[in-house]
Each structure stands twice: as C-alpha cells, then as structure tokens.
Structure 1
Amino acid sequence: MPSDESPTVEKPQQRPWAGPVARASACLRDNRPVESSPPHGHSHAHGPVPPVSRHLRRVIAAILVPFGVAVVVGLIVLWPGGAPGHARTGIGFDQQTRSGKVARLVDVSCRAVNAVPQQPPSGGKASDSCQKATIEVTSGPDKGTTFTEIVQPDQTRRYREGEALILAYAPNAPPGLRYSVSDVQRGFPLAVLAVVFAAAVVVVGRLRGVMALVALVVSFGVLTLFILPAILRGHNPLLVAVIGGSAILLASLYLCHGLNARTSVAVIGTLCSMFLIAVLGSVFVDWTHLTGNTSDETGTIHTLYPHIQLKGILLAGIVIGSLGVLNDVTVTQTSAVWELKDADPNANWRTLYASGMRIGRDHIASVVNTLVMAYAGAALPLLLLFSIADAGVWQVASSELVAEEIVRTLVGSIGLVAAVPLTTVLAALVVNADRHPEPTARPAPSGGAHRHRRP
C-alpha cells in the first residue's frame, strides 16, 4: 500500500567552510566588504549611522529654509552695488599711488647732504653714515623720472637696488615734491605664499580641501562685495554683519561638509551662537560706553563718512571675527556625536550628550585660550605700551582702548562656550531620533540536515 507520507527530501550536507566561502564570494561579486562571522554563527556588525528619517529632515528644512530665504532677501534688499565714491583726501590708503623702484643706492655722509642724524635713544654719538637712494617712477605720465631720498642710519626701512616700491603721488604739489616713498611692493611674495597655502590644503584635504578653498573665495566675496560696501552706504553695521555672516556660514559649511542632517545641526548651532554674540555684544558695548573710535582708521572713516555708526562697526567686527572659530567648534562637536553613535548604535541621546560633552570640554579649554592669545597677539604693541605705563592694572583695563579688546574677546568666548552644549545636545537628539536599537540576532539552529515534510 502506498504510504500517505511524502518521501523525505534531504538537503545535501554542506561542508563547514562552504558558508563563509560562499559569503565571501558573494561579497566580492557584489563589491561589498567581507564580514567575519563570530564563532556562534551570527554577526552584530553594523555600518555607518543611517540617515535621519524623512519626517526629521522636514523639520530641519522647516527651520533652515525660511532662514535661508530671509538671508537671501536681506542680501537683495541691502545689496550696496559697490562702495560709495568720495573726494580723495590724500591720507593713508586714500592717497594716489604710482609704482617705482630703487635705481641707485650710494653711501654718503649725512652732513654732506645736509641731513641731521638723530641722537640714539641709548645715548652716545650719532652715526654720520647715510644712504642716498635714487628712486625711479615706473608708471603713470611721469614714468622714467627720478627723485632722491636720504635714508638715515637709524631709519627702520632699508632699501636694496632694484627693489620695487609704492610711491605716494600728490598731483597738486610742486614738481619736485609730487612723489615720495609710501611702501614696498609685496605682491609677489604674498602671491607665492597664497599658492603654497592652496597647494598644501589641496594635497592634504583633497576634494574637501578644494571645497574649502571655494568656500574661502565665497566668504571673501561676501565680505568685499556686500558687508564692507553696505556699511559704507550707511546701513546698520550689526544687521549687515549678521546677514553677511549668515550667508558666509551657510555657504562654507554646506560646501565643505555636504547638504545633510549633520551639517544642518552644525549650521543651527552656529547661528544660535552667532545671535547670542550679537546680543551680548550690543548689551556690553552700550553698558561699557564704548564708542568704537579708538584708532586712526576709524577716525578717517568717520571723517569721510560721518553717517557711519562707529559703534556698529565694533559690533560687526565682533560678530564676523567669531564666525571662523564658531564653525570649527560646531562642526567638531556634531562629527563627534555622529561618530559616537556609529561606534555604539544602541546609545541613547543622554549617553551621546554626556560623551560628546567630555570631548567638548577639552575643545572649550583649547579654543578659548586660542581666541584670547589671538587677540593678545594682534594687540601686542598696545599691551607693550600699557605694560610700561605708570598706572594700575585696573585703570589700564578700564581705558577704552583696552576695554574694547576685552569686550571683544570675552563676548566671543561666551558664544564659543555656549556653542558646545547647544550643538552637542542638538546633534544627540537628531542622530538618535526615529531610530531604535538593533534587534539581537537569534542563533541559527545547529545540527545536521533538516527534514521537511510536505503536508
């Protein structure tokens, strides 16, 4: 009698090494990395952090897209169309210039050329060794003409034959007094330095370095084509700095790091910190009664454009000066949180925040010190003058010249410190949103061949 049961179908028994070899062959065929299997027969391997959900991307876009539109509208409304013209004053960078060079250099006696050598500060006999430089005009309608200049022995600037110069030109002066040496030509060495810098960035950074250079060009374009001319046109300097700075950070961050959720978190953190710096700067500049008129440059600007708010220029400088370091802090913190999530997919946002803040505290310590040293280095001659002044430390710090640098430094540092926890918590929430821990894989049943019966 035929049996009611179907015949048993047995799978051919596989060799112990057949599974790994087959997986390796499939991975190589599909151009995937070969994953090693743990001894118990299943793997917990995980790839990079998966992208955030569509819902969360919409939330981020709902925040940043209107802000980006507002920045574009601000650029259009306040676009200056170039710097306003003015009558030349002949002072500083506002004077007319021509090119020149040192045609001849001869050692002469100071007394022979009616030059009175200055007494050395340390005392002693003054040197009688002067130089007579013959300067040739190499551009303009007077090209080829020459004039002489006596170089004192204690003069800081020394000449070399053939050295390229920048000549100040006064067209209304008598013929023999129209030209004088203003500075030396530094265009070629600066261009070489810029090429070396660009090459180093590209060699080390590769494509990311190229995009960083593109972002640098965009930042320089926004600064020279929008921020500076708009301030000269009389627009509120702080508003111009916030709009221009926002355009710079949006362009630079997305160009360098891509259009993704990670970069968007860094953008939001940078924007919030920048607005905090603007608010704190406005409060403390008013509270400390700073005018912003503490240098010859600001005095000249106020003379040429009396409608410009010098206090606003100070605030704009605080905002723009903090952008670069803010970008560094927010991008680093966001990347750190993403890497922590990649290393431990099951970590919740509190764990990610705590780990990210341990990194952020080290970052705060180094960045704040870097910022203070950068400002101290820029104001080193001023600090040297005050160090020899016969006045107390508090009196020196309370003077407007020093108080301006203190406010600039501390306000920027507060913004940097605030950027660390803000960006870290945003990154922890975003990278952990709409995700669930990986389910633990169940061990595969071990044993011999499996028998399957048909019903």
Structure 2
Amino acid sequence: MGLLAGIFALAVVVVGRLRGVMALVAPAISFLVLNFFVLPTVLQGSNPLLVAVIGSSAMMLIALYTCHGPSARTSVAVLGTPLSLALIGILGSVFIGWAALTGNTDDSTGLIHGLYPKLDMSGLLLAGVIIGSLGVLDDVTVTQTSAVWELHDANPAMSWRRLCRAGIRIGRDHIASVVNTLVLAYAGAALPLLLLFSIAQSGVGTVANSQLVAEEIVRTLVGSIGLVASVPVTTLLASLVVSADRPGPQAETATAGAVAVGGAAAGRGGRRRKH
C-alpha cells in the first residue's frame, strides 16, 4: 500500500507540478478534519447532520482554496458547493425518513449501535451521504466555473446570458459522466451483495427494498440530484461574477468613448471661457 501511495503521489506531482502538490495536501487536511473533529464529535452524541455540514464546509474551504488559490473563480465554486450540499441534506433527510432507512445494516453499524446506543444511526447515514457527495460536487463546481472563465477569455464580448447558456451546454456532458460515475462506484462497492442476491435468485423488488441496497439507491439518487442542481447554480453565479468583474471590449470601448467625449467637452468649455 505504501508503494502504491508513492506511485500515486509521484504521478500527481509530475503531471500537476505545484498544483499537484497542493492537491495532495488538501486530502491530508480533510482526513485530519474527519479524524479529529467529525468522528469524535459524532461519538460524543452531537447531531451527525450538523457535524457533517460543519465538517464538510471546513473541508470544502480548505480543499478549494489550497488547490486553486484565493480568487474570484475559486470563491464562486465555494459559493456554489454549499448551496448544492444544502439541497442534498434536505432531500436526504426527507427520503431517508420516508424510506424508513435505519442506517443499521451490517456488522460494523450494529457494533457501533451496540457500543453507542444513543447514536442516531439514520443521522449518521445522512452525514455519510453529505460527506460522500462533497468530493464530486467540488469537481463539478470547479469545472463549471473554469469553463465559464475560459469562455469569457476566449470571447470577452459574450454577455452573461450567453456565457450561462454555453456553460450549461458544457455542464450537460459533465452531468452525464458524473452521474454514471456515481452509479458505477456504488454498484462496484455493493458488488458482493448483489452477487448474493443473484445467487438467491431474488426479485428486483426484494433486492431494492432490502436496507443495504435501498441505502445505496437513496444515496445515489440524492447525490445525483444535488450534482445536477449544482451545474445551473454554479454556472449562473460564475457568468454574473466574471461579466461584472471583467467587462468585455464593448463596455471598455464605450467607457473610453465617454471619457474622450467628456474631455473634448471640457476643452471646448475652457476655450470659451478664455474668449
């Protein structure tokens, strides 16, 4: 495992250079936040949802500003991420309750519940959904923000509406690939369980309504809805910010023209006063 970690770190640094080094620092700090804040605070009996929101916000700020540096572009991604996380939290809370998911589905969760009977296991499940969605959300929000900035650099004359429409067209391709990634990631993690159901020749309804599979279905769908929502939200924010912060040449030409006209008028006024 050490050798594999070393190969991974070397590949990231060789390709990413300084940005790659910072990309290695960010997950290390996120692990420290998880280990020294999120886990102990949950075990002390605090609300897992509240702890997950605070911890995710801290990890998001650290990761984005460490990897991408302080800038308007990074700040837009930072603003778009918690909005989508809030939607994921609301949907997760509602549908985990409606689906009657207990969060106590295997030996590890059963042991935790036995050792800490007051721990809210369904809240712990929701906290896992939020933290698990954070990494993919960062990817979507940063990519959408960068796409809008690059579009503006390529054609500074584009209005914020055109920038937004073009960014959303890019985001559609991103949504398709990311949602597919989420589904395959969860399916891969649950592959042994799915094999057991296949051996038992269980029906689709039976499989879907088991606690283990139902958790993954709700987790995947709630996370995917948050990802889909993050594309238009982040793209709109980025379009408004980049258009206001970096006006196109038309606006600059108009401003220069206004200054020139004002200067000429002042010159004529001065000549009249001399006469």
TM-score, normalized by the shorter chain, greater than 0.5: yes
> 1:391, CA displacement in angstroms?
3.1
Separation in 1, partners of 2:38, 2:190: 24
**For 1:302-321, what per-residue CA distance to the aligned partner results, in whole angstroms no more than 9, with x for missing partners?**
11111111111100110010
Unaligned 5+ runs, structure 2: 258-275
1:337 lines up with 2:141 in the alignment: no
SS at match of 1:433: helix
- The one-letter amino acid of 1:366's match is S
Separation in 2, partners of 1:386, 1:253: 41
1:104 corresponds in structure 2 to none
Pick from 262, 287, 292 the counterpart of residue 73 of structure 2.
262
Task: Looking at secondary structure, tell me which structure has more strand per residue.
Answer: 1
1:232 lines up with 2:43 in the alignment: yes
1:305 corresponds in structure 2 to 116
1:318 corresponds in structure 2 to 129
1:158 corresponds in structure 2 to none
Map 1:41-440; keep pairs closer than 5 Å: 190-433=1-244, 435-436=247-248, 437=250, 438-439=252-253
> 1:388, CA displacement in angstroms?
2.6
Separation in 2, partners of 1:396, 1:372: 16
Separation in 2, partners of 1:252, 1:192: 25
> 1:389, CA displacement in angstroms?
2.5
Unaligned 5+ runs, structure 1: 1-189, 443-455
RMSD of the TM alignment (CA)?
1.4
- The one-letter amino acid of 1:302's match is H
- The one-letter amino acid of 1:224's match is N
Q: Max radius of gyration: which structure?
A: 1
SS at match of 1:439: helix
SS at match of 1:307: coil
> 1:386, CA displacement in angstroms?
1.4
> 1:197, CA displacement in angstroms?
1.1
- The one-letter amino acid of 2:79's match is I
Separation in 1, partners of 2:95, 2:86: 14
Task: Looking at secondary structure, tell me which structure has more helix per residue.
Answer: 2
How many residues end up aligned between the 2 structures? 253
**For 1:212-253, what per-residue CA distance to the aligned partner results, in whole angstroms no more than 9, with x for missing partners?**
111111101001111111111111111111100000000000
User: Which has the bigger relative contact order, CA under 8 A and spacing at least 6?
Assistant: 2
Separation in 2, partners of 1:433, 1:204: 34
Separation in 2, partners of 1:259, 1:298: 40
**For 1:322-345, what per-residue CA distance to the aligned partner results, in whole angstroms no more than 9, with x for missing partners?**
111000000000000000000111
Separation in 2, partners of 1:334, 1:257: 12
TM-score, with structure 2 as normaliser: 0.89
- The one-letter amino acid of 1:254's match is Y
- The one-letter amino acid of 1:296's match is D
**For 1:173-212, what per-residue CA distance to the aligned partner results, in whole angstroms no more than 9, with x for missing partners?**
xxxxxxxxxxxxxxxxx11111111111111111101111
